[in-house]
Amino acid sequence: MSGVPSTGPITLGKIYQEIDGSGYSNAADSGEEASLEDMSTNDTPDSLNSDGWSDSTNNTSGETGSAIASTPYKMSEFRGYNQTYSAFSWGSNGGVSQGWGSASGVSPFTANATSSIGFAFQPADNRVRVKSGNGNNSTMVTYSYNSVTYSGTDPDQVEFKIVWTGVFSGSYNSSSEASGSTSGTYYTMSKQTTSSDSGTFTMRNWFIQKSSGQGGAAYNAIGANSPVWTFRAKDSSGNVMATSGTSSQNGISLSVTRGQQGGEFFCIHEDMLVNTEFGPMHIKDVVEKDPRLWSYNHNTKQKELVDQIKNVQVLHDNLYIINNEFMITEDHVMYGDNHEQYSIKPELALKKYGKHSQKLKVGDKLSTLSGDKYIVNTIEKLEGEHNTYTISTQYNNFYANDILVDSEI
């Protein structure tokens, strides 16, 4: 049904048809009586309940249910009404992990610290996807993901509003506060689909950097000043359908100091392709577009598409290259053809991360997404420093370049 027009002439009988379920634009019903009072006070099929608009209706005119269900009854209050709309409601908006917002950077050269949050509207999955993470000068931003779901008719767009108050202190050389956004202002977020790999997140970043001079600097938005965010859904006419609850408070505390740096992780070279629902993708695209990833459920012995939970990206100089194509750190665990665990240096995998594995050698076979046999023919040291990554999923593994590897997060 097309609904009652938002502009132009409207008639009482046609409004009744929309409420009755036959549709505003269809031929007139015969033998039926209609009155504004009946249609506004629950005396007509599918009409208003005692509190106003029923759960199966939608009014886009801007009037509230209580206004329509009370005198004087006006046809204009029905403009934009569509009986086919289902009630829209938001699920819980619980915020993100309390670990978000806490980052520090130490370096004898340039020290920086970053906290980022991003939102994407995914109507095919009835949700807003939230991406949040921290990073510093030695560790690229590490992201975690969660969702805020909704039910009812899909909105045309979803907006977000972040409210916070922050304070910079100390001597710093560069900074950003929510990427220039204004506290308390709504912004439209990116709209994604799951039928293609197009679309990115709408990001907001808090950042502080110290590249000269001695000492430190900081940024804090904590306690009562901590960021909280709210979502609101809008229809194609720009009318607000529903506003979510406010998230829990998630404080931000960033600090930078010019001093000694450090940090160590286990990772795969950034040129390796992650196997996703849309096919192989570079890690940059996986971070930006948040596709589902292929993973292996060891309990059911089945491959499954799952959401990423977190990803880590760092610089490394301890990589090896297998068969001149698969590049991985010396302590990262891979799965064999029979799902035994291998690493290039098992003693390091055990010492650093508590992972038991066998030493990978020429002739071993690795597990693949495609089911093809992957036989290790060569293992060579990869010289130089390289960007690397790893990803956590609900099964603690994922496929990269078709090979099953452990998340190790």
pTM for the structure as a whole: 0.56
Question: Nearest Cα to 390, choosing from 266, 262, 263, 264?
Answer: 266
- Residue 396: burial class (beta carbons within 10 Å; 0-12, 13-18, 19+): middle
Distance of CA 294 to the CA centre of its chain: 18
pLDDT given at position 260 = 39
pLDDT given at position 57 = 43
pLDDT given at position 268 = 86
pLDDT given at position 353 = 76
**Coil/strand/helix, residue 66:** helix
Decide if 342 contacts 334 (C-beta within 8 A): yes
pLDDT given at position 159 = 98
pLDDT given at position 311 = 85
Spatial neighbors of 129 by CB under 8 A, at least 6 apart, are 119, 120, 122, 145, 146, 147, 192, 201, 290
- The residue assigned the tokens 């610290």 is 113
d(CA 276, CA 294): 6
Write out the chain's pLDDT in tens, 409 residues: 467 787 777 777 777 777 666 677 777 665 556 777 766 665 444 444 333 344 334 444 444 444 455 677 777 777 766 655 557 999 999 889 878 999 999 887 788 999 999 999 999 999 999 999 999 988 889 899 999 999 999 999 999 999 999 999 999 999 999 998 999 999 999 998 764 445 689 999 999 999 888 788 999 999 999 999 999 999 998 999 999 999 999 999 999 987 533 344 558 898 999 999 999 999 888 988 899 999 999 999 999 999 999 888 777 889 999 999 999 999 999 999 998 999 999 999 888 778 899 999 999 999 999 999 999 999 999 998 888 888 999 999 999 999 999 987 6
Phi, psi of 85 (to 5 degrees): -65, 140
Strand partners for 204: 117
pLDDT given at position 41 = 60
Question: Nearest Cα to 93, choosing from 127, 124, 60, 48?
Answer: 127
pLDDT given at position 261 = 37
H helix intervals, 224-314: 283-289
Decide if 208 contacts 218 (C-beta within 8 A): yes
pLDDT given at position 66 = 44
Question: Nearest Cα to 395, choosing from 305, 272, 278, 269?
Answer: 305
Structural domain 268-406, CATH architecture: Beta Complex (2.170)
d(CA 342, CA 364): 9
Sketch the domain layout of the chain as residue ranges: 1-87, 102-257, 268-406
Quick one: the chain helix, strand, coil %, rounded to 5? 10, 40, 50
